[in-house]
């Protein structure tokens, strides 16, 4: 059975490249139609030709670079400390109530979201306690950090590690297709107004070039707009359909820390780097500030706060027992890692001990990352 499953997975993975091949074939053809047919065969003005070629190549390179970064970059996989140990696995498989075993394991890990009330999220395929915002992807066959969705057009999951590249891919794909459509419009009109009833091959290339680029640019706008909205709210596509569950209940804005901070979490703190497909995403992909922790006294250290952010109106002003206030008593992003200052909770209360364990684990983990 395992052999059949792995053979099927292999077939799926191979077939998964089909949409990527289609996209690349269209792009290669558009390069031929624009550069060879339009610029070299049809456009006669040297200045116009030069400008067309410069801008075309600029958008083409940025689009393809972002696209291939989305395809080839890891979306982020669950680190080893979230996996069940050999002993955990034995206890899990022999237990009458495996969820209790999972809850026990999760106590030592920095997770703040639940599957259902008081039940830690875990994956029975990967044998991991799921880090917050991670999900199992059946196409990839593993759990993905901050999973957004599995995208057939990039034959890859879109997650914490490549979300920036995916947004840039959409952005540059729109710029590229809009540019091609607008700059070929004049020659497209000439095609229809030409007196000759005989259409050459070049005319047909220009006709299709305009139609294909205009069609893609229109359809990409809705997807790009949707992801800009999600980015501004710090939501993944999956979270937009099903709100994450915190100890105080489901909250679709649970990770919303203000529009600018949300953008910086994905794109980094240096504005000019936002526009290049280089890795600048903050954090470690496993632990996230929440909207409630943002209200705690020291979270202003995390990122430069955006006090005029209108989204903060829904935030609760008092959450004294909020798990996030325990975990993130003071934090700041340092070179893509989170630096946590530990605050001793100092209580024997069971819940406090539970939170304290999470805090210690997170502290240990993040300091290891900082080396």
Given the complex with Zn ion, which of 143 and 180 has the nearer CB atom?
143
CA nearest to 248, candidates 292, 297, 286? 292
Shortest distance (Å) from residue 11 CB to Zn ion: 16
- Residues 6 or more apart whose CB falls under 8 angstroms from that of 171 comprise 66, 224
Residue 55 to residue 160: CA distance in whole angstroms: 31
Q: What is the CA radius of gyration of the chain?
A: 25
The DSSP code for 360 is H
Which residue is catalytic, options 39, 137, 140, 151?
A: 151
Shortest distance (Å) from residue 156 CB to Zn ion: 7
CA nearest to 109, candidates 88, 139, 138, 140? 88
Given the complex with Zn ion, which of 141 and 336 has the nearer CB atom?
141
Cβ neighbours around 219 below 10 Å, total = 12
Shortest distance (Å) from residue 329 CB to Zn ion: 31
Given the complex with Zn ion, which of 76 and 254 has the nearer CB atom?
76
Shortest distance (Å) from residue 139 CB to Zn ion: 4
Q: Is 249 left (phi over 0), alpha (psi -120 to 50) or beta?
A: left
Shortest distance (Å) from residue 53 CB to Zn ion: 38
Sole residue written with tokens 């632990």: 287
Residues in contact with Zn ion by CB under 5 A are: 123, 125-126, 136-137, 139-140, 143, 150, 157
Given the complex with Zn ion, which of 66 and 155 has the nearer CB atom?
155
Tokens of 308: 């005029």
Is 151 labeled as catalytic in the residue annotation? yes
SS3 92: helix
Tokens of 221: 């706008």
Given the complex with Zn ion, which of 256 and 281 has the nearer CB atom?
281
Beta bridge partners of 114: 120, 245
Inter-residue contact 119 to 99 (CB < 8 Å)? yes
Residues annotated as catalytic are 151
């Amino acid at each position: 059975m395992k052999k059949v499953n792995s053979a099927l997975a292999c077939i799926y993975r191979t077939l998964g490249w089909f949409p990527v091949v289609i996209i690349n074939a269209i792009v290669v053809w558009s390069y031929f139609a624009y550069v060879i047919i339009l610029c070299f065969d049809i456009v006669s003005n040297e200045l116009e030709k030069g400008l067309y070629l410069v801008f075309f190549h600029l958008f083409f390179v940025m689009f393809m670079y972002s696209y291939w970064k989305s395809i080839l970059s890891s979306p982020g996989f669950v680190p080893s400390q979230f996996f069940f140990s050999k002993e955990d696995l034995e206890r899990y498989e022999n237990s009458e109530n495996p969820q209790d075993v999972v809850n026990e394991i999760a106590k030592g890990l920095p997770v703040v979201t639940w599957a259902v009330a008081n039940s830690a999220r875990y994956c029975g395929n990967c044998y991991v306690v799921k880090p917050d915002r991670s999900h199992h992807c059946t196409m990839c066959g593993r759990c993905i950090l901050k999973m957004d969705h599995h995208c057939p057009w990039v034959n890859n999951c879109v997650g914490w590690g490549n979300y920036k590249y995916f947004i840039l891919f959409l952005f540059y794909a729109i710029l590229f297709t809009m540019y091609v459509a607008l700059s070929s419009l004049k020659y497209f009109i000439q095609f229809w107004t030409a007196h000759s009833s005989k259409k050459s091959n070049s005319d047909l290339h220009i006709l299709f070039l305009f139609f294909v680029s205009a069609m893609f640019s229109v359809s990409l706008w809705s997807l790009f707009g949707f992801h800009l909205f999600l980015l501004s709210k710090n939501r993944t596509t999956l979270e937009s359909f099903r709100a994450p569950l915190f100890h105080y209940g489901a909250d679709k804005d649970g990770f919303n820390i203000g529009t600018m901070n949300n953008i910086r979490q994905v794109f980094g703190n240096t504005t000019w780097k936002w526009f290049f497909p280089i890795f600048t995403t903050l954090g470690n992909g496993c632990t996230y500030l929440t909207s409630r922790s943002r209200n705690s006294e020291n979270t202003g250290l995390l990122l430069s706060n955006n006090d005029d952010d209108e989204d903060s109106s829904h935030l609760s002003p008092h959450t004294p027992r909020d798990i996030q206030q325990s975990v993130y008593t003071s934090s700041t992003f340092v070179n893509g890692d989170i630096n946590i200052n530990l605050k001793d909770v100092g209580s024997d209360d069971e819940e406090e001990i539970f939170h304290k364990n999470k805090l210690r684990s997170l502290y240990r983990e993040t300091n290891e990352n900082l080396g």
